[in-house]
């Protein structure tokens, strides 16, 4: 299904989180990735695209990536909500997921994903890649056919997510970066949770993982 997708996105919330729509160009179904705030803005994006949401993918459980989930579910009841199984402690404890922002943030995922699992919503097959470090259950979603990685707060343009928050780990982050930068093709587009997009090849050179 090469070139069979479309992308749209908005920057939302108090710390400028990237929320993405990844759509199937044939059916116009789409997955919503990290709806961190401003549900009305996201709903307007969906409406303008005339998209049919098929699922919500969460790269991790911090408030700035999940705040709009409840409002989206009010508009699309029964929409699957996916997050890594290892992120369950973060999702279930507000002092972990919202303490740094002071928000009252509660979500109930419907699918707890495993590392290596292939998710197929909207007719698009995303592979779940466990990438702990920013949080203990952080993950990325890899659309191999389109060479597209939704990296959350694991891999940024010229950087990576902070590791000093609850369940974070510098050592695990280093291992996760090595996994991404040494196993994925260099021409994979990386759409991060904050900031500008990048590529695996560029970040591989920046982080010193050249062959």
Range of the domain at 76: 5-206
Share of residues in the chain with pLDDT > 70 (%): 95
| Closest-CA residue to 62 (of 128, 17, 11, 129) | 17
CATH of the domain at 32: 3.60.15.10
Mean local confidence (pLDDT), 2-10: 87
Give the pLDDT confidence score for residue 103 in this predicted structure. 72
Predicted local distance difference test score (pLDDT) of residue 94 = 79
Structural domain contains residue 79: yes
Judged by phi (left if over 0) then psi (alpha if -120 to 50, else beta), residue 28 lies in left
Angle CA 117–82–168, to nearest 5: 85
Which of these ranges, 56-60, 101-105, 148-152, 193-197, has the smallest mean pLDDT? 101-105
pLDDT at 92 over 80: yes
What's the rounded mean pLDDT across residues 34-61? 97
Q: Which residues contact 122 (CB under 8 A, 6 or more apart)?
A: 22, 23, 24, 27, 29, 30, 31, 52, 54, 55
Token pair listed for 153 = 């707060």
Q: How far apart are alpha carbons 193 and 40 in whole angstroms?
A: 19
Q: In what order do the strands lie in the sheet with 5-12?
A: 5-12, 17-24, 29-33, 52-57, 81-84, 111-113
- Look at residue 211 and tell me if it is in a domain: no
DSSP-H helix ranges across 76-199: 88-92, 94-97, 170-183
The pLDDT value recorded for residue 93 is: 83
**pLDDT tens across 130-185, in order?**
999 999 999 999 999 999 999 999 999 999 999 999 999 999 999 999 999 999 99
List helix spans (H) across the chain: 39-49, 63-66, 69-75, 88-92, 94-97, 170-183, 200-206
The predicted structure's pLDDT at residue 127: 98
Q: What is the pLDDT of residues 52-71, one digit of tens each?
A: 999 999 999 999 999 999 99
The pLDDT score that the predictor gives to residue 1 is: 46
Q: Does residue 89 belong to any structural domain of this protein?
A: yes
pLDDT for 95: 77
Number of domains the chain is built from: 1
Q: Evaluate whether residue 51 is within a structural domain.
A: yes
Is position 92 within any domain? yes
What is the average pLDDT across 107-124?
A: 97
What is the mean predicted confidence (pLDDT) over 14-42?
96
Q: Give Cα separations from 205 to 156, 200, 209 (angstroms).
A: 13, 9, 6
Nearest-CA neighbor of 32 among 107, 115, 136? 107
């Amino acid at each position: 299904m090469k070139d069979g997708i479309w992308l749209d996105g908005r920057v939302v919330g108090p710390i400028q989180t990237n929320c993405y729509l990844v759509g199937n160009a044939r059916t116009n179904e789409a997955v919503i990735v990290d709806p961190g705030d401003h549900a009305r803005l996201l709903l307007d994006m969906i409406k303008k695209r005339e998209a049919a949401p098929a699922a919500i993918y969460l790269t991790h459980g911090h408030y700035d990536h999940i705040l709009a989930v409840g409002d989206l579910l009010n508009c699309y009841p029964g929409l699957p909500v996916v997050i890594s199984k290892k992120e369950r402690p973060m999702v279930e404890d507000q002092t972990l997921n919202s303490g740094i922002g002071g928000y009252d943030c509660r979500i109930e995922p419907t699918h707890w994903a495993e590392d290596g699992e292939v998710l197929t919503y909207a007719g698009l097959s995303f592979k779940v890649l466990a990438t702990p470090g920013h949080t203990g259950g952080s993950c990325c979603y890899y659309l191999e056919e389109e060479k597209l990685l939704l990296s959350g707060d694991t891999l940024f343009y010229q950087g990576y997510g902070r590791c000093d928050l609850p369940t974070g780990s510098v050592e695990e982050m280093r291992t996760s970066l090595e996994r991404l930068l040494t196993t994925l093709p260099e021409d994979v587009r990386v759409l991060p949770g904050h900031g500008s997009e990048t590529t695996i090849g560029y970040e591989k050179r920046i982080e010193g993982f050249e062959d």
